[in-house]
Structures are given as structure tokens and as C-alpha cells.
């Protein structure tokens, strides 16, 4: 929740940031293959680093959660394409979603070998972490959980 007046105070900066957003991908009609997309995204990351004169760009995935891949599907989902681009651009990567990202079998070893910091597999609301800690504790204490629900007070599902 933002303090009253803050959006108005930074309106120009927000509009400049919106104007600088580049079309992501892959789009349904995008003819580029995985390597071309990764190269384009890596170029975008490098360009951002240069244009903003920063020493390091950290790529943070806060996109909507992707559907789980079909069994046997070896193609890289969008989160993994961006994660691979981060590696190629020499940027650390943080996955704040349960999407695949660098956990794809085709990328996990490259991530380890890159020497770059990388982390995450769902940090959006803390619900997953909370449930992964509490559920086993309830089982250990022989407590029956009849229902479990969560509310996202900040919106976004």
C-alpha cells in the first residue's frame, strides 16, 4: 500500500519507466526460436545496464505463474528463456514465482557453473513457505487440518 500522494509525486518517473518497457516474449506468433529469444533478451539486459550506467543488473522474475509443462516437453518456458538470458548477460537471477526459471533440466547445470548468484522458487506472498513449514508440523503433532485458505490482500491472485 502506497502512501497518499506518492504516485503523483513520482508520476514522471513511472511514465518514463513504462515508456522504456520493451516487448517481451515469446509471443504466440513470434517466429524466433529459443536461441534467438535468449540472445534478444540478453541484449536487452545488457542495454539496460549500459543505458542506466549501473555496475550490475539483477533480473527478478515477478511475472504471473506459468502453467506446468506437459510431460515430456523439453522446450523452455518463458521464465526459463529469461533466466537463460540473465546468465548469458552475466546477471544474477531471482525467481519470485513457482515457475520453472533456472530449475529447468537444461539450465540447472549452467546456472551452477556460471558462478552467478541465483535464487528463488516462489517468494511472492510467503504462502508456500508458510505452508511447507506448518503442514509437516501439524502432521507431527497429529493435528487434523480441515481447511486451509489464504487471502492475497495486495491483489493479483
List, as own/partner pairs, every contact residues 123-126 make where C-beta atoms lie below 8 angstroms and the sequence separation is at least 24, other chains included. Answer: 123/94, 123/96, 124/62, 124/96, 124/97, 125/150, 125/152, 125/154
Which domains are assigned to the chain? 6-121 (3.40.50.720), 126-152 (no CATH)
Task: Give Dmax over CA atoms of the chain in angstroms.
Answer: 57
pLDDT exceeds 70 at position 6: yes
- Cβ-proximal residues to 154 (8 Å cutoff; 6+ apart), any chain: 1, 125
Report pLDDT digits (tens) over 121-144: 766 566 666 777 788 888 889 888
pLDDT exceeds 70 at position 84: yes
Q: Is 95 helix (H, G, I), strand (E, B) or coil?
A: strand
Question: What is the pTM for the complete model shown?
Answer: 0.73
Q: How far apart are CA 135 and CA 148, in angstroms?
A: 10
Amino acid at each position: 500500500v502506497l502512501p497518499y500522494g506518492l504516485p503523483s509525486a513520482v508520476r514522471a518517473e513511472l511514465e518514463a519507466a513504462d515508456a522504456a518497457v520493451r516487448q517481451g516474449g515469446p509471443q504466440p506468433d513470434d517466429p524466433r526460436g529459443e536461441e534467438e529469444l535468449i540472445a534478444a533478451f540478453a541484449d536487452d539486459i545488457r542495454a539496460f545496464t549500459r543505458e542506466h550506467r549501473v555496475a550490475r543488473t539483477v533480473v527478478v522474475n515477478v511475472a504471473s505463474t506459468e502453467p506446468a509443462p506437459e510431460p515430456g516437453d523439453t522446450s523452455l518456458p518463458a521464465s526459463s528463456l529469461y533466466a537463460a538470458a540473465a546468465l548469458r548477460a552475466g546477471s544474477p537471477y531471482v525467481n519470485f514465482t513457482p515457475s520453472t526459471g533456472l530449475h529447468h533440466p537444461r539450465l540447472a547445470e549452467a546456472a551452477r557453473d556460471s558462478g552467478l548468484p541465483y535464487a528463488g522458487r516462489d517468494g511472492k506472498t510467503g504462502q508456500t513457505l508458510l505452508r511447507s513449514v506448518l503442514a509437516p508440523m501439524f502432521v507431527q503433532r497429529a493435528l487434523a487440518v480441515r481447511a486451509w485458505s489464504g487471502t492475497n490482500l495486495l491483489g493479483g491472485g
